[in-house]
Amino acid sequence: MNNIKQDFTIKDLENISGIKAHTIRIWEKRYNLLTPKRTKTNIRLYTPENLTKLLNIVLLNKNNHKISKIAEMSEDDITSKSRELAFSFATNDEAINTFKVSMFQFDKILFNNTYHKLLHKKTFREIFKDVFIPFLDHIGMLWHTETLLPAHEHFISNLIAQKIQLNTEKLQYSINNTNKTYVLFLPENEIHELGLLYLNFELVLRGFHTIYLGQSLPLNNLNYFLDGDREVCFIASLTIQPYDDKVEEYFNEIDSVMDSTKNQFIAVGRKIAKIKHLNLNDNIALYDSIPDLLKVL
């Protein structure tokens, strides 16, 4: 992903902001709100600062500030007024837009203030379901269109991970279901763990004992948990890894590990579609998404 662009096209701005390219052009020409660079072939290219300004303009405009009035504001006024508004928002969409601004500005304070405002109106579970999941889905779309820098994705993912871990830590002394241990991990070279972190939170919330092993675990490490008397359920989240040409081999290895044991193995994520045709042991369950898995837990 080293070829992710530092400059943004008008299509990128449309994808990120949700504002049609035609409208962005009007705002640019009529109100001089953005000043893109031009290539030799006259294609508009926008800087990260242009993008942040547009997100702030969208936030103001969606909250009854006319474009003509926004155009009269200074750059500093647009930033400060949008931030004030972000701290007092009322809808999920406004929160998501504010998280976008915080991501592109690397603004931890804006992220935390927005999150704490949400906590006055929603539980953490509601925030994750109503705000973080749609936001992360949008980030995924931006990632696949190469609109997003890895630095932006890492910054915001780490902030969300901190919130999940903080809320999980608050639950650690509420474990009351000790019949089964859930061992959660990601395959080797898999680093996308937000979904698995949240799943760990949900399991602890339900009173289950969990062992969270995290990123990039070699499959042979699971043997350590197979010799004891306690019933174990392994849960693996597969987003990027294994690669498509290796995923069937990976699950055949899981099948051999789980054969003739009393334990269970649950796999969840995008890679599941690649192996649904396999004839796996009955103690192996497959789910397309974490929400699908949560419905049966």
pLDDT band at 7 (very low <50, low <70, confident <90, very high): confident
Are 217 and 118 in a shared domain? no
Are 35 and 151 in a shared domain? yes
Residue at which a domain ends, from 167, 202, 226: 167
Q: Report which of residues 197 and 5 the model is more confident about.
A: 197
Residues 207 and 178 sit within 8 Å (Cβ to Cβ): no
Residue at which a domain ends, from 167, 195, 229: 167
Give the whole-number percent of the chain exceeding pLDDT 90.
Answer: 17
In a domain, 4, yes or no: no
Task: Give pLDDT, residue 22.
Answer: 92
* HEC sequence for 207-274: CEEEEEEEEEECHHHHHHHCCCCCEEEEEEECCCCCCCCCHHHHHHHHHHHHCCCCCEEEEECHHHHH
Are 259 and 183 in a shared domain? yes
In a domain, 132, yes or no: yes
In a domain, 2, yes or no: no
The CATH number for 217's domain is 3.40.50.280
In a domain, 265, yes or no: yes
Are 240 and 145 in a shared domain? no
Are 45 and 160 in a shared domain? yes
Question: Model-level pTM greater than 0.85?
Answer: no
Are 163 and 180 in a shared domain? no
Are 153 and 186 in a shared domain? no
Are 152 and 36 in a shared domain? yes
Q: Report which of residues 65 and 228 the model is more confident about.
A: 65
Residue 175 has pLDDT above 70, yes or no: no
pLDDT band at 144 (very low <50, low <70, confident <90, very high): low
In a domain, 140, yes or no: yes
Q: How far is CA 268 from CA 23, 157, 170, 235, 271, in A?
A: 40, 19, 26, 8, 8
| Count of structural domains, the chain | 2
* Token digits of residue 243: 């690669």
pLDDT band at 91 (very low <50, low <70, confident <90, very high): low
Are 161 and 186 in a shared domain? no
In a domain, 276, yes or no: yes
Least confident among 22-26, 140-144, 153-157, 266-270? 140-144
pLDDT band at 1 (very low <50, low <70, confident <90, very high): very low
Range of the domain at 91: 10-167
Contacts of 194 (CB under 8 A, 6+ apart): 136, 157, 160, 161, 164
pLDDT band at 249 (very low <50, low <70, confident <90, very high): confident
pLDDT band at 173 (very low <50, low <70, confident <90, very high): low
Least confident among 27-31, 75-79, 141-145, 199-203? 141-145
Residue at which a domain ends, from 167, 198, 214: 167
Are 30 and 160 in a shared domain? yes
Are 147 and 267 in a shared domain? no
pLDDT band at 35 (very low <50, low <70, confident <90, very high): confident
In a domain, 113, yes or no: yes
Question: Which of 295, 198, 280 lies closest to 237 in space, CA to CA?
Answer: 198
Helix axes 75-86, 92-105, angle to 10 degrees: 130
Residue 3 has pLDDT above 60, yes or no: no
Are 162 and 178 in a shared domain? no
